[in-house]
Structure 1
Amino acid sequence: MLSTFFVPEGTDFSASEIEVGGDEAHHGVNVLRLKQSEEVKISNGAGNWGVGKVSQLSKKSFTVEISTRGFEAAPKQRIVVVQAILKNDANKEAVDFLTQVGADEIIPWQSQHSIGKIDDKSLSKWQIVARESSRQSRRVRIPLVTRILSTEQLILKIKELQNVLVLHEAAESRLSQIEINEEADVTLIVGPEGGLSEIEVNTFIAAGAKVVRLGESVLRAANAGAAATSVVMSRTGKW
């Protein structure tokens, strides 16, 4: 499978040649050791993509002569994951796996039991991880990482949506069996290491969410969202 590199969203994909610079070029030139005439894939992270051979190489950039180009439309039914903020590197792990399995949007949530906290600088790290993981998994659409939500803001959001599923180990219904409206996005809510509080669960249910579990075993907070996304991907025909 071809190595994938990202260029700015406004890049003109009708051009015969496209230059790759910045961190993407550094990764290609210094890490992957790209060679002249090697075939690669480039994308703007928003669906546009092109395939071609490296025509020019320098220490800080490389140019691709485009031979094939296309566009991957956004899915009609998106998978949105509301991920409670975790401790330290667990946030990176969660975003990495969510991106690999195909989540379309990741929303950081400051839950009651979240020990970690993130600011704008930390949020930019989530976005960088999503980009790097998209490159590794050959995605041409980088998942959107949005602003941090408080519980109050999340409740308002739940009231506007359908298919809101809260992961909880004590739930009676399994995610693999719950009814999913095919005409609406699927929103998964994943708690932190300390779990969801009873108040949070009850408030989410009152706002219209359904509580579900994955199976008998309890997954780590950094991995539960990716596992749930995989189930939804399979159930909605994306896998």
Structure 2
Amino acid sequence: MTSPLFVFDAAHDDVPVNRDELRAGWTITLPPALKRHAIGAMRLQRGDELQLSDGHGLRIDAQVADTQNGLVKVSEFTTEERPVTRLALVQALAKTGHDVEAIDMATQIGVDEVVPWQANRSISKWKAGRTDRKWDQTLVAATEQSRRAWKPTLDECVSSKGIVAICRRACVHHELVIVLHQDATATWDGIERKVAALEQRCLDDGKPRTIYVVVGPEGGISDDEVGQFTDAGAEVCVLGANIMRASTAGPVALSLLSRSLGRFV
């Protein structure tokens, strides 16, 4: 059975982990919230194995040494590199939690970056200090669920003008922005050819690049927004004949991209 993984925030959880000094045999004191989760809720006992991660590539294999004081002993550790070709989900705010469902599934699939988008037709509104905390908690939980050493970065919420800026920047850096739209005529086959060319460019020069998947709210992306994104260099395509929910379209596209990039084997 795969050991459960727990993500800690090195900046706020007061976990004494210095990558340059970390070594096998170290004893780490779990922060209170992580202790409650691992020992209180999951009932881990002395000798049980677990993994710790800072969400930035560090993966620590450890064993519970003292349940009373929340002590774990490090057995080994590794540092995982981020992919050179990265995946980002630009998710429009959606009602009834469809946006949160989308970023949950996207994290499990392997998305590297999440960009909240206040689209023209978004009914839900971004509330700083509340919505961002909920989204971040969702990313942490999904990272732990999928046993990832990298937690997706959560960007600031952007307007449609912000998406235009992302498209223009992507053109400069030879990146790719894919806008999913039900009325588009371009199909996924053409997108895959562009993805293959981008990946080859990354392999040739070693520079990281991002593929952005833009998903609209329940009411869809407005024609005005589609026009702005297209003029700024985005690729607009349709996934298939079926119309998907705001919670589904992004994860489906990310799954197809992950397969094309060799992340799914």
Regarding TM over 0.5, the answer is yes
Map 1:1-239 to 2 at 5 A: 1-9=2-10, 11-13=17-19, 14-15=22-23, 16-58=26-68, 62-120=70-128, 121-161=130-170, 162-178=175-191, 179-180=194-195, 181-182=198-199, 183=202, 184-239=209-264
TM-score, length basis structure 2:
0.86
Output the CA distance in 2 between the equivalents of 1:73 and 1:234: 19
* Structure 1: segments with no counterpart, 5+ residues: none
Output the CA distance in 2 between the equivalents of 1:101 and 1:17: 32
Counterpart residue identity of residue 243, structure 2: V
Output the CA distance in 2 between the equivalents of 1:25 and 1:213: 45
Summarize the Cα distance change of 1:177–1:23 in structure 2 as closer, same or farther, 3 Å threshold: farther
Is contact 1:101–1:229 with CA below 8 Å preserved after alignment? yes
TM-score, length basis structure 1:
0.94
Output the CA distance in 2 between the equivalents of 1:96 and 1:157: 23
- SS of the residue corresponding to residue 70 of structure 1 reads strand
Counterpart residue identity of residue 208, structure 1: G
Partner of 2:205: none
Tell me which protein shows more helix as a share of its residues.
2
Is contact 2:92–2:215 with CA below 8 Å preserved after alignment? yes
Output the CA distance in 1 between the equivalents of 2:35 and 2:249: 33
- The one-character-per-residue Cα deviations of 1:27-85 (angstroms, maximum 9, x if unpaired) are 11122110100011111111011102111112xx6222111110011111110111001
Counterpart residue identity of residue 146, structure 2: S
Counterpart residue identity of residue 39, structure 1: E
Identity percentage of aligned residues: 30
Output the CA distance in 2 between the equivalents of 1:67 and 1:155: 47
- SS of the residue corresponding to residue 160 of structure 1 reads helix
Counterpart residue identity of residue 108, structure 1: P
Is contact 2:99–2:246 with CA below 8 Å preserved after alignment? no
Is contact 1:176–1:231 with CA below 8 Å preserved after alignment? no
Note the C-alpha offset of 1:172: 2.2
- SS of the residue corresponding to residue 169 of structure 1 reads coil
Segments of 4+ moved more than 6 angstroms: none
How many residues end up aligned between the 2 structures?
237
Output the CA distance in 2 between the equivalents of 1:210 and 1:47: 31
* Structure 2: segments with no counterpart, 5+ residues: 12-16, 203-208
